Structure 1
């Protein structure tokens, strides 16, 4: 049995929004339980064949996602605008393109239907009033029962159009049947056809919400949920996958907690909590309570066809806009998601058609792996019909298809746990608007509903439902703090000026510096200044999409910090390197890469004395940034660059170095070419002429750096004057955590609770799995330190006796390693240690 302040059922955007608000503004201990093995609800993605990535529910959102989504992502969500004509409607005998902007949309409608000009103006005024009516109704749904009843009545009285069916309202407003067809066409965005849907939903979703244009998350829908989950982790919210809530427990009509099954292990347990937020939908919530289902109209479901293409669909005309194929009583929605995601490496298409879930009743409840042949044949027929419809619209697309998979309402039941595979939650009908169960409040004290059923359809609708749930749970002062914070949320991604930034940069240019070295220029998405500042000598960590899961690689910045509209890296091709071969063979301008940075302590700032820069091969990259910074600062002191390469042809940045010599009067450049016949290396004799230096920056292959450090030490160069480059990535931190865990488990089995570390003056304890530096800090021992991540080399310690695991990171000479010098922040004792700082 466990205890929590709040249990949230479901990790869709509604559940995550409620979790964040209750943790951040209410100080609650929140546990989120997700039945699926993937977190994020309909913002999650899945992959096929090791290359194709598909979104499941988020295809496009408003171009200005508004304060709610920006608050949930701390302003970090990056959006790629769709074309101005973002929705193309294809009727049997005519087409219509929906443009971004209310004035542009109205003008295009009037141009097409001049006789309806005044009716079009009235229509948009009615849309505004109906949207206000829907918002008012939804806000009232979060109040107590007496206020809710009065509010519902007032909303319908003041905005009757909100409650009319869409067909009724359009027939009252518009005479021309073609114009009515255009205005009604995109009901698939909320799932209920015009003859049944409430006009308030039609006014709010396809019309008002998308009125100023649309966009797609850079990096795909998963990027939204990745950022949100990361933020929740910092707030202490625990999110668990594969946890099926089997029952919501109540006592005297008050919620007391939930019963849970861990579907990965079969373990059953209970979490006691005075507050339960259900983002699993109203119908599922009533089922978990064991109560009768609400009497509301049934919801539609959908079939979705996921296609992977071996070529770009842009060859056939699409440019990223959405297409609605409307004929024979069917509406098929087509999204070319990969054209709207500059980070996508492979092209995909997602096709949605709303269907009656009863079509699949005969197979409901059967094992997904053992469904009969007739089910497979139906899926094949539906797949072929949808592909044929696409090929009719874009002849030749069939030949591009490398992968196809159809999801049916049974798929949504299995993975989403929605009732009868309903895609959008409760049907968007007038009956829903008048129902007291469609909203965040329930008849059980302490139990509230979040997600689509608490507000409206779609990811942002679900997010709004999460805010409504928090609105119900939090007391007045905390609610006020929440809404004030939401109102201040930036409508655009926030620039990060200090510390590490994470987001996408676009590849602006690629240049071959040498036969084996390529320079890559990265710029801000959409132009403007890059969203961070950096110091000369720092590096970036870049996720490279070489497989379904990207690999992280670190690359030094070669451009100077004085340049603000781009940042550059240089990459040497390594024959067996996954990252470098991708960057050399496949990367093209226009692609987006996820970047973390700037990182590193290998930095230079203006100071007097002789600066000695030593580079081996591509190790010259961060030193170019140092030289650019020195030139921008008007540095006049002596700078010596010793650059080692194999051949003259392989010297990178040669042209730039000549230009820098013109700007830096004290710059001396010496090349060492090591190819047979030259025999020129940066050895002891070569360094002897430069031993009277103030500061040394050294970067190159690890073996070369070890040798050079040894030479400099023998020449009397102070060790703390020598600075070396060391990359620190999330992978290296993860490896250290994994090793620490293994050491801790081994110690536990052996009955060891602590190791002892003895230094020059005292002895202090070290828990198994703790680094030497962490143990020293916990004991209050004064150890030299700076970055704590192995990048700066400050926490040097010499191990005299004892066993340990470590990562030397190229910070030491061969002689220093033999003498036992290590980094305290990287060293994990496996028995008692004796160390010294001298």
Structure 2
């Protein structure tokens, strides 16, 4: 591998929450070059989601988390994670003879227990004290495990002596604490949250996870688990962390007890290479880590882990039809809890979910699939498929017995087995929660972030505890061991301080709720978007700006831009108006499928089609075609809110009298704006507005805002130019029809195919006036190629709505869509939008200013 050597300061194996946490902490506070190698094709570990049947989305490991996920998650997401609370009774335990609902908050849990078991009230209070003590013992043990061996050897016996209950089995501790077997069963239940049965699990883990971590209530990530991964990977890239999927680590290299590098295979290409490094953080689990480094003989004393089968269910309707509200259900065949079936309802807890789903998980011995282990994932024997069908049928029967009629609502199912987790997670024998949460694990020197090899550390669940937040804590423990003391101090000060304030120069990204839907005309709807919780909008905007909205119309969502039609003074919500396009995927969804209460992913604000207030002597001329009036309504509202008294003229054109928009709002605005003149034209006015119509409205001090269909805008730019309105005074925003032309993606695909057929792999974009030439891949836009080469062009939206990225092509061949942003004369001079222009040969461009455009004419 000598010809394929690379170098990195730190290599992280695995992109689960533990690996990503370690990568962030080391890159940010250690200022190291960090490379993350992930064997799966998606970054994010168990926050990964997958789609089936073109409409259902399923999580793979994160079902719910603490509603108060604490400073760790705040740190990792810079405070951007949005959580939707589960019902107050968030876990319902179904025993053969009785049910028990676990409420949020420790006090209410205690009250319900005492109400149900009054004779054991004193024992219940004592048990809560025991929980706290055992939790402290677990934390002390785990923190100690991050210290060097000398400190661990001295401290470990002290922790065991001070906190003996941490090391007892769950069954032993509840038997010592209570007489009533039902009360014992309630406290011992929900061991499925960490994967080791009560007779074998250490009470410290049980005290930490079901009995402490969820006591403040529970929540589900808005947008699904993958939204956490998306936010975190964006932040990591900001700190220069390299993230590489489809990379299988073959060996962790050592020399005389110290890490020297890793050997890697790129499974997408088959290329093998070596990364030289003195520090490796493995979030691939203790068993994988020790095997890759030749240390697996040290693991013989650790008990085997459980795996799981998981049934993913797509539903025709809502689980609410069965009286379910989003709480989790634990179906237990007996008081011992063996064979517990855990059921979650993610679509009821994620306001952004588009289709209803249900997930059922049962922990199993990985030996249930032993006869098929070693077979190829895509070519398992028929007997394996029969096994899965029988198992899925058993689980469905059990669910239908609990909720009669559920079977008829099922539209889709897929079953994952230990082989599935082994294949996708690369976990040993499909282990679901890492090392078994047993007393032996707590006593073992290998169950922590330190290893016997210098420079090799373990992150993730095996370094702290189960679950996403447990893995995150394990990643930070590994970072503790890697960083210098001064850097560790800076890390924990940052965690305690909380996330930094948002960068005002960066568009906000997150979810807003559809609060109201109103039909304005037969083809136009107005949607009100508000924050998920109380309080104002999470961002401010300027009149005339727009937001991008992500729409779940297919397996992969699409993004569309919509102008804001409310004024900036309205901070409780914003509104957009959407015209239904005959072939528009986005508009079809917003007209036919979206419902009030649904959350949509929004980013913004964007755009420079803005008005921030003008001098009273200036004439503000607003010209719109159809739904292009939307941003102009925001401008008028802002003017009214500011008490503007200057002259404003609105020329609004509509094709049909039934399509006239905002009549009520314009009437109200006339009363508030003494200088406002409104002229509504109901006609196809392309070419019908000439100099004679506009001449009385323009002078040397006129500011024009123009928004509408491309042909109208192109004609009017020419008319305004002939009236000597300065080009810099004409502000444009494109109204882009979803069916007017091929999308840029379609055009790019055609350009790339044509180039490939001709054997062309790249074009050159030369910059007039000097400067380095830019290489452009066939199908790549001028703007994207320039950005990739570090050549800064004027830009804003990147999609042809704002018209900011004007460039002039001086020579060469290309495909483009002008979006009506230029007059006929400007087009003849070669002015185009860089984001919409695709070279089909070598070209030469200049990004001269708009004032230069006027001089050229």
TM-score, normalised by the number of residues in structure 2: 0.92
Structure 1 counterpart of 2:124: 120
Structure 1 counterpart of 2:19: 15
Q: Compute the displacement of 1:769 (Å).
A: 3.1
Q: Compute the displacement of 1:649 (Å).
A: 1.7
| Residue 425 of structure 2 is aligned to residue 416 of structure 1 | yes
| Residue 373 of structure 2 is aligned to residue 364 of structure 1 | yes
| Residue 302 of structure 2 is aligned to residue 296 of structure 1 | yes
| Residue 69 of structure 2 is aligned to residue 62 of structure 1 | no
From 324, 334, 340, the equivalent of 1:331 is 340
Q: Compute the displacement of 1:22 (Å).
A: 1.1
CA distance in 2, matches of 1:765, 1:238: 27
Given that residues 809 and 843 in structure 2 are in contact (C-alpha distance below 8 angstroms), is that contact kept between their aligned partners in structure 1? Answer: no
Q: Gapped runs of 5+ residues in structure 1?
A: none
CA distance in 2, matches of 1:756, 1:368: 49
In structure 2, relative to structure 1, the CA distance for the partners of 1:800 and 1:92 (3 Å cut) is closer
1:46-73 deviation per Cα after TM superposition (whole angstroms, max 9, x unaligned): 1111111111100000001111111111
Question: C-alpha root-mean-square deviation of aligned residues, in Å?
Answer: 2.9
CA distance in 2, matches of 1:171, 1:561: 62
From 448, 451, 467, the equivalent of 1:458 is 467
Q: Secondary structure, in 3 states, of the residue corresponding to 1:725? A: strand
Structure 2 counterpart of 1:833: 844
Moved more, 548-557 or 713-722: 713-722
Structure 1 counterpart of 2:416: 407
Q: Secondary structure, in 3 states, of the residue corresponding to 1:502? A: strand
In structure 2, relative to structure 1, the CA distance for the partners of 1:183 and 1:269 (3 Å cut) is same
Q: Secondary structure, in 3 states, of the residue corresponding to 1:69? A: helix
Given that residues 734 and 819 in structure 2 are in contact (C-alpha distance below 8 angstroms), is that contact kept between their aligned partners in structure 1? Answer: yes
CA distance in 1, matches of 2:58, 2:814: 45
- Equivalent positions of 1:610-689 (< 5 A) are 610-674=619-683, 681-689=688-696
Q: Compute the displacement of 1:489 (Å).
A: 1.7
Structure 1 counterpart of 2:232: 228
CA distance in 2, matches of 1:98, 1:750: 62
Moved more, 645-654 or 443-452: 645-654
From 289, 305, 327, the equivalent of 1:321 is 327
CA distance in 2, matches of 1:316, 1:478: 53
Q: Compute the displacement of 1:469 (Å).
A: 0.6
Given that residues 72 and 495 in structure 2 are in contact (C-alpha distance below 8 angstroms), is that contact kept between their aligned partners in structure 1? Answer: yes
CA distance in 1, matches of 2:163, 2:657: 78
CA distance in 2, matches of 1:85, 1:679: 61
CA distance in 2, matches of 1:808, 1:679: 17
Q: Gapped runs of 5+ residues in structure 2?
A: none
In structure 2, relative to structure 1, the CA distance for the partners of 1:826 and 1:182 (3 Å cut) is same
Q: Secondary structure, in 3 states, of the residue corresponding to 1:688? A: helix
| Residue 576 of structure 2 is aligned to residue 565 of structure 1 | no
Given that residues 197 and 428 in structure 1 are in contact (C-alpha distance below 8 angstroms), is that contact kept between their aligned partners in structure 2? Answer: yes
Moved more, 152-161 or 578-587: 152-161
Structure 2 counterpart of 1:154: 158
Q: Compute the displacement of 1:543 (Å).
A: 0.5
Moved more, 340-349 or 326-335: 326-335
Structure 2 counterpart of 1:721: 729
CA distance in 2, matches of 1:123, 1:208: 12
Moved more, 51-60 or 380-389: 380-389
CA distance in 1, matches of 2:503, 2:578: 25
1:455-508 deviation per Cα after TM superposition (whole angstroms, max 9, x unaligned): 000111111111011100111111111111111125xx9766543000000100
| Residue 721 of structure 2 is aligned to residue 710 of structure 1 | no
Q: Compute the displacement of 1:367 (Å).
A: 1.9
In structure 2, relative to structure 1, the CA distance for the partners of 1:437 and 1:390 (3 Å cut) is same
In structure 2, relative to structure 1, the CA distance for the partners of 1:285 and 1:221 (3 Å cut) is same
Q: Compute the displacement of 1:734 (Å).
A: 8.8
CA distance in 2, matches of 1:600, 1:807: 19
From 249, 252, 277, the equivalent of 1:273 is 277
Structure 2 counterpart of 1:551: 558
Structure 2 counterpart of 1:103: 107
In structure 2, relative to structure 1, the CA distance for the partners of 1:794 and 1:232 (3 Å cut) is closer
Given that residues 769 and 828 in structure 1 are in contact (C-alpha distance below 8 angstroms), is that contact kept between their aligned partners in structure 2? Answer: no
Q: Compute the displacement of 1:128 (Å).
A: 0.8
Q: Compute the displacement of 1:373 (Å).
A: 3.2
Given that residues 220 and 341 in structure 1 are in contact (C-alpha distance below 8 angstroms), is that contact kept between their aligned partners in structure 2? Answer: yes
- Equivalent positions of 1:148-227 (< 5 A) are 148-227=152-231
Q: Compute the displacement of 1:290 (Å).
A: 2.5
CA distance in 1, matches of 2:125, 2:239: 47
CA distance in 2, matches of 1:751, 1:263: 26
- Equivalent positions of 1:247-258 (< 5 A) are 247-258=251-262
Structure 2 counterpart of 1:75: 79
Given that residues 538 and 603 in structure 1 are in contact (C-alpha distance below 8 angstroms), is that contact kept between their aligned partners in structure 2? Answer: yes
In structure 2, relative to structure 1, the CA distance for the partners of 1:384 and 1:536 (3 Å cut) is same
Structure 2 counterpart of 1:246: 250
| Residue 446 of structure 2 is aligned to residue 442 of structure 1 | no
CA distance in 1, matches of 2:15, 2:790: 41
Given that residues 736 and 819 in structure 2 are in contact (C-alpha distance below 8 angstroms), is that contact kept between their aligned partners in structure 1? Answer: no
Q: Compute the displacement of 1:377 (Å).
A: 2.4
CA distance in 2, matches of 1:502, 1:683: 42
Q: Compute the displacement of 1:750 (Å).
A: 8.9
Q: Secondary structure, in 3 states, of the residue corresponding to 2:827? A: helix
In structure 2, relative to structure 1, the CA distance for the partners of 1:442 and 1:796 (3 Å cut) is closer
CA distance in 2, matches of 1:744, 1:596: 35
Structure 2 counterpart of 1:130: 134
Given that residues 739 and 769 in structure 1 are in contact (C-alpha distance below 8 angstroms), is that contact kept between their aligned partners in structure 2? Answer: no
Given that residues 523 and 565 in structure 1 are in contact (C-alpha distance below 8 angstroms), is that contact kept between their aligned partners in structure 2? Answer: yes
How many equivalent pairs are there?
828
Given that residues 644 and 681 in structure 1 are in contact (C-alpha distance below 8 angstroms), is that contact kept between their aligned partners in structure 2? Answer: no
CA distance in 2, matches of 1:192, 1:460: 18
Given that residues 807 and 831 in structure 2 are in contact (C-alpha distance below 8 angstroms), is that contact kept between their aligned partners in structure 1? Answer: yes
In structure 2, relative to structure 1, the CA distance for the partners of 1:415 and 1:825 (3 Å cut) is closer
Given that residues 608 and 804 in structure 2 are in contact (C-alpha distance below 8 angstroms), is that contact kept between their aligned partners in structure 1? Answer: no
Q: Secondary structure, in 3 states, of the residue corresponding to 1:180? A: helix
Q: Compute the displacement of 1:559 (Å).
A: 0.6
From 3, 8, 14, the equivalent of 1:4 is 8
In structure 2, relative to structure 1, the CA distance for the partners of 1:10 and 1:798 (3 Å cut) is closer
Structure 2 counterpart of 1:588: 595
| Residue 79 of structure 2 is aligned to residue 91 of structure 1 | no
CA distance in 2, matches of 1:739, 1:252: 56
Q: Compute the displacement of 1:93 (Å).
A: 0.7
CA distance in 1, matches of 2:790, 2:470: 51
CA distance in 2, matches of 1:257, 1:185: 44
Q: Secondary structure, in 3 states, of the residue corresponding to 1:193? A: coil
From 567, 582, 586, the equivalent of 1:575 is 582
Given that residues 616 and 704 in structure 1 are in contact (C-alpha distance below 8 angstroms), is that contact kept between their aligned partners in structure 2? Answer: yes
Structure 2 counterpart of 1:259: 263
In structure 2, relative to structure 1, the CA distance for the partners of 1:740 and 1:121 (3 Å cut) is farther
- Equivalent positions of 1:807-818 (< 5 A) are 808-818=818-828
Q: Compute the displacement of 1:732 (Å).
A: 9.5
Q: Secondary structure, in 3 states, of the residue corresponding to 1:318? A: coil
In structure 2, relative to structure 1, the CA distance for the partners of 1:390 and 1:499 (3 Å cut) is same
- Equivalent positions of 1:369-408 (< 5 A) are 369-408=378-417
